[in-house]
Structure 1
Amino acid sequence: MREEPPVTVNTPQVGLSGEPFIAETEPPISWKMSTAVPGWTQACAEVAVVRRGQASTAEITGRDSVHVPWPFAPLEPRETVRVRVRVHGADGSASAWSEEAEVTAAALPPQQWRARFVGSGGEEPHLLRGTFALDRSVQRALLYTTALGAYDVEINGAVLDDAELKPGWTSYQWRLNAEVHDITAHLSHGANAIGIVLTGGWYTERFGFRDAARRFYQGPPAAAAQLILEYNDGTEETITSGAEWRYAPGPVVAAGIYQGETYDGRRSLPDWSSPEFDDSDWVAVAVIDGPDVVPTVRSSPPVRAVEHRPVHRVVTTPSGRTVLDFGQNLVGRLRIRVEGERGHTVTLRHAEVLEDGELGVRPLRNAAATDHYTLSGDGEETWEPRWTFHGFRYAEVENWPGEFTPDRVTAVVVHSDMPRTGGFTTSHALLQRFHDNVEWGMRGNFLSLPTDCPQRDERLGWTGDMQVFAPAASFLYDCDAFLRSWLDDVVCEQRAAGGVVPMVVPAVIPQVPGLLDPVAAWGDAITVVPTVLWERFGDRGALRACFEAMASWVELVEARAGATLLWQDGLQFGDWLDPDAPPERPGAAKVDADIVATAYFFRSAELTGRAAALLGRDADARHYADLAERVAAAFRDAYVTPQGRMMSDAPTAYALAIAFDLVTDERRQAMGERLAHLVRASGYRISTGFVGTPLICDALTATGHSAAASRLLTQTECPSWLYPVTMGATTVWERWDSMLEDGSINPGQMTSFNHYALGAVADWLHREVAGLAPLEAAYRTLRIAPTPLEDLDDAAAWHETPYGTARAGWRREGDRIHFHAEVPPNAAARVELPSGATYDIASGVHNWVEEHPRSVPPRAKRDLSSSLAEIVDDPEAYRAVLAAIRDTDPERAEAFRRTTRWTPGRQLREPLNKAPLPILEAVEKALEALPTEPTDRAPR
């Protein structure tokens, strides 16, 4: 019997995403090992390549197995190679050869791109056809296609892939994706046809807010195709789209990202892309002059339909309308099966919430989010729109023919098809639902590029949203290639803007004041996101590709700050969406905007210095490290008192200073104490906005205040992370109170129920609560440092690192806490347990147990003379006081809850000094009734 090797190697990944057609000529190679041998590490690896029938092998010495530089001569255009890997362990073991990965270097030199863009010359969707004849046998046929718009391509009646909304959204004037297909098997001797369905997609969309919306990209939609035929006799031929192509209207009558799709089944043209189809009544195309840009091979994962969900329930609204509830706020479309008379039209409207029992469409602003389907009358018809997408949980069905049954409709979930790589679990039901909401928010907003929201007339690549969410995103999904593609656009747009990173990329709303002004926390995406890709994926190429842009951004901010090194001038969003800001003024935060801006100036300078060091740019590394130190000193001198108080005494100010390590001396602990004080004073409700929210729990736990972080995390009153969950949210909201407690929609004009930014705290759940973080890039060495929280019984996380699956977590059993960790082969970990015990461990499964009794301090007598801090730190007492007031006067109870500052220096009677005597008596009675020992430390 053949003995299996102790270690096996998975099929290697060549390039960023494992696509069969790649743009790189020297693609990085990555591989993972599987073994039951604990502590296994790679001593060396052999990488073998077969190119043009010849095999060669390169040896990689050491542990490197992630983004290993291409060890052979660069690939030639259209060269196909096969790559496999064999590894040797430090213990003397050896694997068998892996399966082969086959890739083609598909990028064409600019002079070889000869296809012309063609279309009808108008904005309406239409069909395009081109024909050609083959009189020789073909060895290989590569088809390159792209569009200024959105398209699908067919060859001789065959659809080539399941990717949608191709070529995706990039900064079209600078960069355009192309799809590559090997269509050899689809070709026939004699006549052949290429067919393209073309719609406007993002290219013809109107961008902007309310009446200011208008087109950014100019010209009609157009498509281009280039077919390279390699014949068996050694010759080649190139066939391209051009003036000889023809077009005709198709069944898609109208299509827009915001407005929806209109489809007429009566206009369907069977076999329209087959060579036998009679197109004599079609019209000659117009040759379109598009942007002067050569299409590049797509590297980002394609958009696909990834899931189908049935109707959860059918709602009849007060007005008698039929609304379908899918039980989950999602992004995609509806698929319907319908039967009725020819010419009958069904209308589908979409929204995220119900208000007063009806579809809540006001937050959509100018987006109609409505689809129309006109029946052909040919029996049962199945249809779903392909040229739009909607953010919705609810869909209204109008004018359904005959009796409607919910099995006739399903929701199709659509997003960029990235591999899932991480998760978090806890028995705390509300927190688990919150984390699920974070995942759904990412899925809905990672569609071709990272957007702010997927439902209203916006759906733009806001740089600030991605800056704060990149760490959480990189844990949950393999978004390296996805974000690298978007960063290519960021670099292009920044270069065109003279060093400014626009607020949105692609920068399609120039009419918005300040779009091309430098804005802290938004522009800093150019330093933060490439750093995250290095830390989480080991993608040094991201730093290399973005370094000049990182440096340009820092230098621009340095010039703006001037000699003081304090960034105090110009447009700033600050701590956007501070919960204390009025709905109509979302930027009116408690923290001064210059503190936010200068903190991010330091952060970007520091990250740019680190990147320079990693890239071997020693002089740059010294320059930016020195700049960062000087900015930090200026920050401390201007904004931090000798006693550790911030001049802007707001939680976000302290969170920034602590989390960014702007203060590292003895004042740091005082700042942590003050931050914990402010968190308690706010009743453990969120008091931070866009910038502070991702950092506040990190700052609390870093300074020893995990109990405060635990209360903040598990708070259910508004504003809090869990308040939306109690209101039925299935994604993260844009505002803490996007829906008010009475079930009405926030009156602000900017209200979305699917924004991932405030879910960025999920990264803290992964790294600190479950305790799974990278200590070295790509998790080559992990940091296993769990933080048990008083309000949880357990927490665990898993992550498919570039080395393999890692796990970490803990669970309580009485006074003991059980910790576990799993380290993948060829990796190691540094373990830091709450007791202070530390371990350096190798790959394998590890467990520890420590004594950690839950902290349940004895309850002193509570009455009106108790301090407000004592009351809020005792959840049972706090709820008893609120309930007592609410039973008599609900409005007074709500005002008391919202306005009271829960500080140790004030008695409970002070905010109640004008309350009627019956309320005071009710409060005293409720406090007297409390049990001697507190009981409320269990998760809810």
Structure 2
Amino acid sequence: MTSVKVVDVRFEHYRPGNTLGIDETKPRISWRFEGTYKVKSSQAYLVPWPSDEPLTSRQRYAVLVRAYLSKESEPTPWSEVEDVEAGLLNRQDWSGTGLISAPWSDEQNKPLPEDLFRKQFSINGGIQSARLYITSHGVYEAEINGVRVGDHFLAPGWTVYEHRLRYQTFDVTELLSDGENCIGTRVAEEGWSTAGSVSGDWQKVQNLPPLSEDTTLVAGSAEPTRRIETTKPVSKIDTPSGKLVLDFGQNLVGYLRIRVSGSRGHKITLYHAEVLEHGEVGTRPLRHCEAKDTYTLRGEGEELYEPRFTFHGFRYAQIDNWPGSLDDILEKVEAVVCHTDMEETGDFHCSNDMLNQLWSNVRWSAKGNFLSIPTDCPQRDERLGWTGDIALFALTATFLYGCHGILNDWLKGLYFEQKKRNGIPPMVSPNTIVDGLFAQVHPFAIWHDVTVLAPWALWEEHGDAEILDQQYDSMVAWLKSVPMNEEADKDHLWDSSLFQLADWLDPSAPPDAPQKSATDMMLVANAFLIHSYDIMVRIAEILGNDDSPGCKTKAAIAREQYAKQYISENGRLTSDSQTAYALAICFNLLAEPSQLKLAGDRLAEIVQDNEYRVGTGFAGTPFVCEALVQTNHMDVAYGMLLNKKCPSWLYPVTMGATTIWERWDSMMPDGSINPGDMTSFNHYAYGAVAKFMVERVAGLRQLTPAWTRCRVDPCVGGGITSARASHLTPHGKISVSWKVIEGGEVQIDMTVPPFTEMEVVLGNGDSDVQVVGHGEWSFKRRI
């Protein structure tokens, strides 16, 4: 019997423990191997459902897996049992249920208290198994017999309600008892949801018409949002105005939980802010959002308070009117961190502490903005699913976290809204913007290219073509709706009369005009158009489609027209900017090798002339360092990456940032907040540089989808003497570490999972490359 074990058995892309009530009838199965092994079997990832019979509603299977590592080997031991249970797969499964509502209030334009529902019922006889299938328009928490059901936060999650309404499945067997029971949505004091505890004036619910047939009830693929961790404040601050402020040492997303004693009717107010400005909580960036919670004490000894249906983005909490002594307040208050419960899949560390802090900042911004949907920011009066941010961050997000579920769900809703707008997606999804330019059916490059870029990122990470097939019509609809220029020599480029957001938040743009970048807005738009065409050509090949949108031809013609419009013979671009050259290099827009070299040299010159400071906005930031390395300017790339002057990635770190900022100078050097109306201190877009840190600093680069072939080639420089990166791939954990050793050499150690080949660069370029398979390996190479 082999010593290898089969572990981590999964169904589709669900994590173990999240397979109660799934939508799939034939879920594919994946697993990983543990132990010392040589695997010759062909597949252990997304293996077809092993039964000819599909799952039916509520059907449950217990699955065990064993594997033969080769045709001649003994099988592995059976894996641990993993359970999978189908949800309600057909609309008729919901027959006999209906929508209920509390009586409607006339006060529809102001915040209303939560509604409270209860239903008492009897059970006679033994209870073998019980499930609760529940959803709502809005958010809910449920209790049975006074015990909370499940651990979800802000269930059912935010979706495009008129298209897809997610429901949850809970095993409530242990919560029920013979005889009288009570179920309720819990938004009040303990006891109201227990059998027999009826008091006060309870009204009958209103029975509403059934859901429209256009609305699909789905379990969805996204992991639940949960309360993930708690953290205590690190210090207590007395502000210049005499206010009490607690510092949690980390900008986070969640809420405050307090334990407090005081007289009945005493009110405590909690204010939340990301930064201090001149010693006081900086609330101006929140705009109309008050970020304020108020608690009125019962006056019955020590009380525990935590809000149930809100979250804030904050590092600092101002507490007004705290009763009694402040001596132990650091123990009485804690922050509850909330986000979608994604698996942490990627890590990075190096000998430079500031880069490590930058990595931490990216991670905290990613998880804080993945709360049911991918948002732009978690704190101000916005918190929306902006398309442009995730379009540029998706490739980084998929390295950091297992976010297939949340992005898959979000993309389905995006396409529904896109179909209602003649192929043009909304700027945010779910689309809640009702006025202004962003509410109009106006096409925007980058933001709407998310229809192509986000599914492509998921394909690259998982190698699962289902996401491409699912979203293919969305991609085609978008690219067909891009309005073209009417001039003959530009008719495969964007209509230049349309406003674009360009290199949004370029540091040279005025605070209140973030679209006024140094790079021509149409140059940026057309670069991303060609990039999307290129990806679509590859997607059509993967799916075996006939390229019905004609993207291959369109890309070729658009490239020619782009070159005529924006590129001179000497490699200079009409916009002589960091973003223009970075996009041209990384999107392969330069036809001749000589042009590529000239463009790279010019980019390096611009960066050096700018004292290695960043000169890019949303569009160019993910690509500028990579463009420098691709054109043999690694030293300049390191100079930019490690620069501490504003604007740079490390300037916020010098200012104490613990998340990625929306603007390079969200906080000015004098400690004042950027005067622009739009300033967030938790925005992941500029954190896309984390991909460069993994690929070039640590040296771990993915070459093929699902990480089946990778490359190790660290860029040793910038005074960095060691680095490491790891990633949980579909086939297992891959890791690389290197360190400078005596004799002018670098020692490289790596672990390669099954079904993966690793190219190890031991010389300059491709002059000495060794290819290895799964196992543990060590190499040395000259610096």
Q: How high is the TM-score relative to the length of structure 2? A: 0.94
SS in 2 for 1:796: strand
Distance 1:75 1:711 in 2: 56
Cross-structure match for 2:39? 41
Shift of 1:456: 0.5
Cross-structure match for 2:459? 534
1:702 aligns with 2:626: no
Cross-structure match for 1:116? 98
Shift of 1:32: 0.8
SS in 1 for 2:322: coil
Shift of 1:162: 1.1
Cross-structure match for 2:698? 770
Distance 1:423 1:436 in 2: 10
Counterpart residue identity of residue 25, structure 1: T
Distance 1:194 1:444 in 2: 32
For each residue in 1:512-566, what CA deviation from the matched residue of structure 2 results, as whole angstroms up to 9, or x when unmatched?
A: 3133311111101110111111111223221111011011111112656786211
For each residue in 1:269-306, what CA deviation from the matched residue of structure 2 results, as whole angstroms up to 9, or x when unmatched?
A: x3211222225731111234586224211321111111
Sort the Cα spacing of 1:387 and 1:705 in 2 relative to 1 into closer, same or farther, 3 A: same
Q: Identify the range of structure 1 (28-37 vs 730-739) with the bigger mean alpha-carbon deviation.
A: 28-37
SS in 2 for 1:140: coil
Cross-structure match for 2:754? 825
Shift of 1:822: 1.4
SS in 2 for 1:323: strand
Select which of 813, 822, 841 maps to 2:772. Answer: 841
Q: Identify the range of structure 1 (470-479 vs 814-823) with the bigger mean alpha-carbon deviation.
A: 814-823
Select which of 476, 479, 484 maps to 1:554. Answer: 479
Distance 1:694 1:91 in 2: 45
Q: How high is the TM-score relative to the length of structure 1? A: 0.79
Cross-structure match for 1:861? none
Distance 1:816 1:619 in 2: 49
For each residue in 1:303-323, what CA deviation from the matched residue of structure 2 results, as whole angstroms up to 9, or x when unmatched?
A: 111111111110001111100
Check the 8 A contact 1:11/1:101 in 2, yes or no. no
Sort the Cα spacing of 1:316 and 1:125 in 2 relative to 1 into closer, same or farther, 3 A: same
Cross-structure match for 2:576? 649
The within-5 A match list for 1:412-423 is 412-423=336-347
Counterpart residue identity of residue 222, structure 2: S
Distance 2:364 2:3 in 1: 39
Cross-structure match for 2:6? 9
Cross-structure match for 2:289? 367
Counterpart residue identity of residue 12, structure 1: V
Unpaired stretches in structure 1, ≥5 consecutive residues: 44-62, 198-249, 252-267, 853-940
Select which of 664, 668, 688 maps to 2:616. Answer: 688
For each residue in 1:16-67, what CA deviation from the matched residue of structure 2 results, as whole angstroms up to 9, or x when unmatched?
A: 2232221111222211111213xx2242xxxxxxxxxxxxxxxxxxx22222
Cross-structure match for 1:743? 671
Q: Percent identity?
A: 42
Counterpart residue identity of residue 332, structure 1: G
Check the 8 A contact 2:696/2:714 in 1, yes or no. yes
Cross-structure match for 1:196? 185
Counterpart residue identity of residue 627, structure 2: A
Distance 2:404 2:312 in 1: 25
Distance 1:491 1:42 in 2: 41
Distance 1:620 1:414 in 2: 43
Distance 1:11 1:846 in 2: 24
For each residue in 1:883-910, what CA deviation from the matched residue of structure 2 results, as whole angstroms up to 9, or x when unmatched?
A: xxxxxxxxxxxxxxxxxxxxxxxxxxxx
Sort the Cα spacing of 1:133 and 1:341 in 2 relative to 1 into closer, same or farther, 3 A: same
Cross-structure match for 2:109? none
Distance 1:125 1:477 in 2: 33
Check the 8 A contact 1:331/1:390 in 2, yes or no. yes
Counterpart residue identity of residue 197, structure 2: F
Cross-structure match for 1:809? 737
SS in 2 for 1:88: coil
SS in 2 for 1:632: helix
Distance 1:560 1:501 in 2: 20
Check the 8 A contact 1:331/1:392 in 2, yes or no. yes
Distance 2:265 2:527 in 1: 61
Counterpart residue identity of residue 87, structure 1: A
Shift of 1:473: 0.9
Shift of 1:619: 4.4
For each residue in 1:58-77, what CA deviation from the matched residue of structure 2 results, as whole angstroms up to 9, or x when unmatched?
A: xxxxx222223334332112
Select which of 215, 221, 224 maps to 1:302. Answer: 224
Shift of 1:88: 1.5
Check the 8 A contact 1:143/1:183 in 2, yes or no. yes
Q: Identify the range of structure 1 (290-299 vs 841-850) with the bigger mean alpha-carbon deviation.
A: 290-299
Sort the Cα spacing of 1:319 and 1:291 in 2 relative to 1 into closer, same or farther, 3 A: farther
Counterpart residue identity of residue 203, structure 2: V
Cross-structure match for 2:148? 159
Sort the Cα spacing of 1:391 and 1:422 in 2 relative to 1 into closer, same or farther, 3 A: same
Shift of 1:656: 0.6
Check the 8 A contact 1:175/1:295 in 2, yes or no. yes
SS in 2 for 1:499: coil
Distance 1:42 1:279 in 2: 67
Check the 8 A contact 2:503/2:517 in 1, yes or no. yes
Q: Identify the range of structure 1 (701-710 vs 633-642) with the bigger mean alpha-carbon deviation.
A: 633-642
Select which of 535, 551, 557 maps to 1:624. Answer: 551
Select which of 429, 438, 452 maps to 1:505. Answer: 429
1:346 aligns with 2:268: yes
Sort the Cα spacing of 1:365 and 1:639 in 2 relative to 1 into closer, same or farther, 3 A: same
For each residue in 1:663-698, what CA deviation from the matched residue of structure 2 results, as whole angstroms up to 9, or x when unmatched?
A: 242211211111111111111000111100110011
Check the 8 A contact 1:788/1:810 in 2, yes or no. no
For each residue in 1:140-185, what CA deviation from the matched residue of structure 2 results, as whole angstroms up to 9, or x when unmatched?
A: 3221101111101112222121111001111112111100112233
SS in 1 for 2:77: coil
Cross-structure match for 1:445? 369
Distance 1:41 1:633 in 2: 47
Counterpart residue identity of residue 426, structure 2: P
Distance 1:376 1:823 in 2: 59
Cross-structure match for 2:206? 286
Distance 1:820 1:341 in 2: 62
Select which of 386, 397, 400 maps to 1:462. Answer: 386
Check the 8 A contact 1:346/1:399 in 2, yes or no. yes
Check the 8 A contact 1:786/1:834 in 2, yes or no. no
Distance 1:290 1:684 in 2: 61
Check the 8 A contact 2:98/2:210 in 1, yes or no. no
1:67 aligns with 2:32: no
Unpaired stretches in structure 2, ≥5 consecutive residues: 106-111
Distance 2:516 2:358 in 1: 27
Sort the Cα spacing of 1:5 and 1:559 in 2 relative to 1 into closer, same or farther, 3 A: same
Q: Identify the range of structure 1 (336-345 vs 661-670) with the bigger mean alpha-carbon deviation.
A: 661-670
Distance 2:442 2:485 in 1: 11
Distance 1:77 1:748 in 2: 53
Shift of 1:574: 0.4
SS in 2 for 1:647: coil
Distance 2:345 2:516 in 1: 37
Check the 8 A contact 2:230/2:336 in 1, yes or no. yes
The ranges of structure 1 where at least 4 consecutive aligned residues each deviate by more than 4 angstroms after the TM superposition are: 558-563
Counterpart residue identity of residue 526, structure 2: T
Shift of 1:489: 1.3
Check the 8 A contact 1:24/1:107 in 2, yes or no. no
For each residue in 1:345-404, what CA deviation from the matched residue of structure 2 results, as whole angstroms up to 9, or x when unmatched?
A: 111100011111111110110000011111111111111112110111100011111012
Distance 2:71 2:596 in 1: 46
Check the 8 A contact 1:11/1:84 in 2, yes or no. no
1:577 aligns with 2:505: yes
SS in 1 for 2:66: strand
Distance 1:472 1:291 in 2: 38
Cross-structure match for 1:543? 468
Check the 8 A contact 1:11/1:100 in 2, yes or no. no
Distance 1:488 1:574 in 2: 26
Q: Identify the range of structure 1 (568-577 vs 459-468) with the bigger mean alpha-carbon deviation.
A: 568-577
For each residue in 1:203-232, what CA deviation from the matched residue of structure 2 results, as whole angstroms up to 9, or x when unmatched?
A: xxxxxxxxxxxxxxxxxxxxxxxxxxxxxx
SS in 1 for 2:136: strand
Sort the Cα spacing of 1:370 and 1:442 in 2 relative to 1 into closer, same or farther, 3 A: same
Distance 2:644 2:604 in 1: 18
Q: Identify the range of structure 1 (611-620 vs 392-401) with the bigger mean alpha-carbon deviation.
A: 611-620
Cross-structure match for 1:519? 444
Shift of 1:138: 4.3
Highest CA radius of gyration, 1 or 2? Answer: 1
SS in 1 for 2:116: strand
Counterpart residue identity of residue 515, structure 2: G
Cross-structure match for 1:400? 322
